[in-house]
């Protein structure tokens, strides 16, 4: 998609596609980091954006239909955090109602009093944690694998991508079989890889990524993007030619996490919005935790806007580039160049695009770095 000219209302939006992808990074291509080389992506981006973005100036949109669902998800997530080791997590059921799993009647009463549905977990949180620890010891950093607890079924979901075959697949299956019905295996089409991109595009070092969220720290302007982008690029620009400086990477974390903090260049700070690629933008007013079953939206420079639902939180993903933990797993699609872009629900910021498998023609699985972690780590806030 073609970027809007410098005359647009804000040069740096909440979402920026960055072209920072480490050389030789195959990514979980159907499950790897979504990064792209700028010169290879510019043409295809231009063609796709023509069908997504209008020519009129972007307008702010008010609260979206997803705002009510985001509020319910935030309430359930807050309750689950307070329960800590006494819950396997929170989720939204098929009717969109918030549910928190509990292990005793006292907690069930407290959850119910807060206006959320309690559900007795079928397996203890401690037993599920032991299972994920066993997977970590047994499978280690085996590329193309990952796992997360499903609070709705009290199971650990173990997934493999298309690169896991032969003896590696046999090893994964034996490991799962030893754990019995507490572990459910799922096959992800394609190959996991890391994605570089986001809402509006950002460029550096011959690569392109996306800006995630504009943030403030100690009154200064910064923005967040993916760590695998920040590792590769120090100086960011709004154009491939490098004429319009937008920021300098100050801190970056990948693997383990996947987030980076970029100091905005003088005069380049954007607003607290994300690009919807239809002539409008969404004002982001707060940050929150994702909940299983929640409807979410992703914005990125390669594919524009994509929607889907959260299928897991606190997921471990073994990309070829490295292992990342604590991730949000979704049914949202993404492609190279979308890395670093924002994931949100209503006006709530949830995550930064990291990597996945598939594409936006056939569908796929995408993982996101929760945004609350870098905000806390950097002492920053969305606005």
3-class secondary-structure state, position 290? coil
Return the DSSP state at 63: S
Residue in 221, 257, 258, 359 annotated catalytic: 258
Report the distance separating Cα 212 and Cα 196, nearest Å.
11
Active site residue 127: no
Q: What is the torsional sign of CA 336, 343, 231, 29?
A: negative
Return the DSSP state at 258: -
- Spatial neighbors of 54 by CB under 8 A, at least 6 apart, are 278, 279
Q: Which two tokens stand for residue 322?
A: 């490295």
Q: Are 307 and 64 in contact (CB under 8 A)?
A: no
Q: Which two tokens stand for residue 334?
A: 């993404």
Strand pairing of 348-359 and 286-287? parallel
Active site residue 258: yes
Q: How many residues does the chain have?
A: 383
Residue in 299, 339, 354, 357 annotated catalytic: 339
Q: Are 285 and 121 in contact (CB under 8 A)?
A: no
Residue 365: which region, alpha, beta or left (left: phi > 0; alpha: psi -120 to 50)? beta
| Residue 37 half-sphere exposure toward CB, CA atoms < 13 A | 6
Strand pairing of 155-160 and 145-150? antiparallel
Residue 133: which region, alpha, beta or left (left: phi > 0; alpha: psi -120 to 50)? alpha
Report the distance separating Cα 151 and Cα 130, nearest Å.
15
Residue in 193, 228, 281, 345 annotated catalytic: 228
Report the distance separating Cα 116 and Cα 17, nearest Å.
37
Q: Are 258 and 369 in contact (CB under 8 A)?
A: yes
**Burial class of residue 179, CB neighbours in 10 A (0-12, 13-18, 19+):** middle
Report the distance separating Cα 354 and Cα 298, nearest Å.
11
The residues that are catalytic are 228, 258, 339
């Amino acid at each position: 998609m073609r970027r809007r000219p410098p005359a647009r209302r804000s040069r740096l939006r909440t979402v920026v596609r960055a072209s920072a992808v480490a050389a030789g990074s195959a990514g979980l291509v159907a499950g790897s980091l979504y990064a792209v080389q700028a010169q290879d992506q510019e043409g295809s981006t231009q063609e796709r954006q023509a069908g997504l973005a209008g020519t009129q100036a972007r307008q702010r949109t008010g609260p979206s239909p997803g705002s009510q669902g985001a509020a319910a998800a935030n309430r359930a997530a807050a309750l689950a955090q307070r329960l800590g080791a006494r819950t396997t997590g929170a989720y939204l059921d098929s009717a969109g109602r918030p549910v928190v799993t509990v292990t005793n009647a006292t907690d069930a009463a407290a959850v119910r009093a807060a206006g959320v549905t309690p559900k007795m977990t079928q397996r203890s949180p401690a037993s599920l944690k032991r299972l994920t620890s066993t997977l970590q010891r047994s499978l280690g950093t085996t590329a193309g694998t990952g796992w997360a607890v499903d609070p709705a079924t009290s199971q650990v979901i173990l997934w493999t991508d298309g690169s896991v075959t032969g003896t590696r697949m046999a090893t994964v299956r034996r490991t799962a079989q030893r754990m019995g019905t507490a572990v459910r295996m799922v096959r992800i089409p394609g190959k996991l890889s890391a994605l570089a991109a986001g809402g509006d595009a950002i460029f550096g070092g011959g690569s392109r990524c996306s800006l995630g969220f504009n943030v403030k720290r100690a009154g200064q302007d910064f923005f967040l993007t993916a760590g695998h982008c920040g590792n590769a690029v120090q100086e960011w620009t709004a154009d491939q030619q490098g004429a319009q400086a937008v920021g300098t990477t100050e801190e970056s974390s990948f693997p383990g996490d996947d987030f980076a903090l970029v100091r905005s260049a003088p005069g380049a700070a954007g607003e607290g919005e994300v690009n919807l690629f239809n002539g409008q933008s969404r004002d982001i007013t707060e940050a929150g935790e994702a909940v299983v079953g929640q409807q979410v939206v992703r914005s990125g420079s390669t594919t524009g806007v994509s929607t889907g639902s959260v299928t897991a939180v606190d997921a471990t993903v073994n990309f070829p580039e490295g292992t990342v933990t604590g991730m949000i797993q979704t049914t949202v699609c993404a492609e190279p160049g979308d890395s670093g872009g924002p994931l949100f629900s209503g006006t709530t910021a949830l995550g930064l695009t990291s990597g996945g498998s598939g594409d936006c023609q056939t569908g796929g699985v995408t993982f996101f770095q929760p945004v609350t972690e870098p905000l806390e780590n950097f002492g920053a806030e969305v606005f």
